[in-house]
Structure 1
Amino acid sequence: MRFNQTASLSIRRAIRYVEWLILIVYLLLFLVNRDGVSYSNLPIPTYVTLAQVIILTTLSFIFPINRPIWQRRFYILLEVLTVIMPVAVGVDFEIALYLILAKSCILLNRKDVIFITIFSGILYMLLIAQSIPMIVDFNRTNHNQLLAEYLQDLNNTDVIIRRAVINNLGGYITASIFVILFCFVVVAEQKSRQKAEALTQQIETLAASLERSRIAREIHDSLGHSLTTLDIQLELAQRLYDKNPNKAIDSLNIAKDLSSECLTKVRNSVQSIRQTNFNLNQALATLVEQVVQNQSFVIHLNSELPQLPIQTSHQLYCIVQEAVTNIQKHGFAKVVNIKGYQDNQGIILEIIDDGQGFEVNAHHTGFGLRGMQERIQILGGELQIKSSLGEGTQIQVWIPS
C-alpha cells in the first residue's frame, strides 16, 4: 500500500531516525564486544561489518515511497542482500532484517512482501548453515584461549555484568525502536485515512456546488433568452386573442418557433455533453449557421483549434454561445469576429463585435458574464473583457495547453 504525500514524509522521517538509532547501537555493540578472542574480531568479519554499516547508512537517506515500483523493489532487495549476505562470514544483523521487512510493507504490494519474506528467510537460513562450520572450526582451533578467557571472566564478576548489561540493553533498545516504528506507521496511516475521509467529504460538497452552478449555467445559456421571448409572445397572444386574432396567431406562430428553438438548444447541449469525439471547430461553425439565420449581423468565424479534451471543448463552446447570446440581446452589432487558435502559450479564443458596448466595471446582475468566468476558472485559464459604451466589445479567453 502507498500513503499520501503528507503521511509519506512523516513515515520517511520516522523510519530514517529508527534506522540511524539501530545502526548506532549495532556499531557500539560491535566495538564494545571486541575485547578478547572472538571470531567476529577476525579481519574479514570486521571489514564486512563496517561495509555493511556504511551501505545501510547510505541507503537510509533514500526512501523511494513515490518512485516507480521497480525502483522500490530494487531498493528493498539491495537492503535485504546487504543485511543477509554478511551472514555467510558470521556477521549477523537480524534486527535490521525485520526493519527492512517492515519497510517493504510500506513500499511494496502484498505479493512482493510475501516473496521478499520467504526469499529472505530461505537465504538467511542457508547462509547461517554455511557459516556455522567456519565458526566451529575457529572455536575448535582457539579453544584453549577461549577457555582461559572464560575462566578469567568467571573470576571477574564486573566484566560479566558489564557485558550482560550492555548486550541486553542494546537488544532492548533495538527491539523497542522497532516496536515504536511500527506504532508510528499505524498512527500515520490512521491520520492519513482520517484526512482522506475529510477531504472526500469536502470534494463531495464542492462537486455538488459545482454541479448546481453548471446546471444554472446550462439553463441560462441554452434556454434563458428563448424562454423569456417565448413568454412575452404568449402573453401578447393572450392580450390580442379577443381584439386582434390575426396578430395573436402571428404571436403564437413565433412562440411555436421559439419552442422549437428551445428544444433544439436542449438537444444540442445534451449532444455536446455526451459526445466523446466532440469537434469544437465544427460545433462553432454549426452555431454560427444557426445564429445568422435569424439575426441581422454578420459573423466571421476563423477557428483553427486543435483537438481538445471534451471538457475543455464543451466549456469553450458554451463561452462562445454565451457571448453570441449577449450580442443578440444587448450588443446591436453589425459584424462579429470569432477567432480560435493555439500558440506557444496555450489556446486563444477571441470574440470581437462592433456593437454598443457596456461598462465593464459596472455591476451586472445576470448569469452571463458570471457563467463565463466560472467556466474559465474550471479550465484554469484567464478571461479578459475590453468594452466601453459605443466602442464595441472584445473578449479574449486564454486556456493553458
Structure 2
Amino acid sequence: MRPPQETIRSKRDGAALPEAEIAAFVAGLTDGRVTEGQAAAFAMAVFFRGLSLPERVALTRAMTASGTVLAWDLPGPVLDKHSTGGIGDTVSLVLAPLVAACGGYVPMISGRGLGHTGGTLDKLASIPGYDATPGLERLRAVVRAVGCAIIGQTDDLAPADRRLYAIRDVTGTVESLDLITASILSKKLAAGLQGLVMDVKTGSGAFMAETEQARALARSIVAVANGAGLRTTALITDMDAPLASAAGNALEVAYAVDHLTGRRREPRFHAVTTALAAEMLVAGRLAADTGEATRRLDAALASGKAAEIFARMVAALGGPADCLDRAGSYLPEAPVRRRVEAGGSVARVDTRALGLAVIGLGGGRTRPQDGIDPSVGLTDLARPGDAAGLLGVVHARDEASADAAEAALRAAYAMGEAAPEGPAVLERIDA
C-alpha cells in the first residue's frame, strides 16, 4: 500500500487513481490507518479534482466491501429505492410495503434527517417500540417473513462510508457528486440488492435545486451502479412544493397510514410513489413494463394488502400490532394547533423554508446530537395554484414556537397569479 499521503497527493494533482490504490485507502479508512486529517484531505481533493467513472466504481466497490455484504436466498427479487430528500417525502413508508405486496423483498436502509429535509428513521422513531436499528439477523428474519423492513445503517454495513461521511459533514465536502454517489451506492450494494431506483429531487426544496445538477447526479448514480453490477434507473422528480401536504415526523407517519388505507390519497404523492414502485417491479422482472406494474400496484393498494404488510412490518420490529386502526392513539400529538390563513392564490412556495420551519419547531436537527420532537410540524399545506384560504396548520409544543412557525409559513408562500403545476415526474434516466 502506498502511504495515504501519496494517494492524497496524486488526487490533489489531478491524477487518476488505480483501483488497487483506492481499495487500499478505503481499507485504511476502515481499520484506522488513515487518520481523520488524511480522510478530510482526500475528500477535499476529490471535491476539487473529481473522479472518473472507473474511479467512482472502484471507490463504491471498496466501500461496499469494507463490511458485511448481505446475501439473500428468497423466492423473489431484492429491491430498493433511495431519495435525495425533500419536504413531505414520506414515500418510503408507502413504497416498501407496496412493492412487497407485489412480490418484491425490500430491505430498506434509511437515514435520519439531513439539513432541511426529514429523515425516514426519524419518522419511524415516532412509532412507540419500533426498533429502527435491529441486528442483521433480525433484519433478515423480518424481510423473509414480511417482505420488507425499513431500518438504519448498522455497524456491519459499509463502515468506511460511515466514517468518511462523518468527516465530509464537517469539512464542507458533502456536496461532492462523486462522494455522494459512492456513499449512497455502497450502502445499497452492501444490502445485497438486485434492483434499485433513485428518486433525485430538483426544485426549491431539494439539495440539487437546479435540474442540471439533479440530472448530473442521477446519471452518475445510474452509471456507477450499473458499472458495479446493480440494475438501476433514476427518476428526477419535482420538489418546488412539498410532495405531501404534511411535514413532520409523526404527522408524516399518519399521512402514510392514511394513504395505505385509502382514507386520503393525494394525486401528486400517489403519482411519484407509483412511478418509483413501478420502476422497482420492472427492475425485479415482476412486471414486463411500467404499465403492467402500475396496474399491479393499484390492485395491491385497493385490496389492502400493502397496508397489511406495513402493519406486519411495524409489529415485527417492535411497534404496536394495531397501528393501522389506532394510529392516532400511538402517534404523539403537539399541544398547540394553529390554522394559518391568507387570501388570494398561491403563486409559488419556498419549499426549503418550510423544512426549516419544521426544524425551528423542534422537528429536525441543527446539530447531530440534537433531539427531535416527533409531534411537531405542518399539515394541510397549500400548493401552487391553490386558492389559498388555508396555507397550512402549525403543530407546535408552545405558543411562542407556533408564532415563529406561522411567520415562517407566511414568508414561504408568495401569493398572486400562478401557472398550473407541471408533472411530478420530470425525467427518467437509465443505463
Name the TM tier (shorter chain).
under 0.3
Structure 1 length normalisation: TM-score?
A: 0.22
Bigger radius of gyration among the two: 1
Higher relative contact order (CA 8 A, sep 6+): 2
Structure 2 length normalisation: TM-score?
A: 0.21
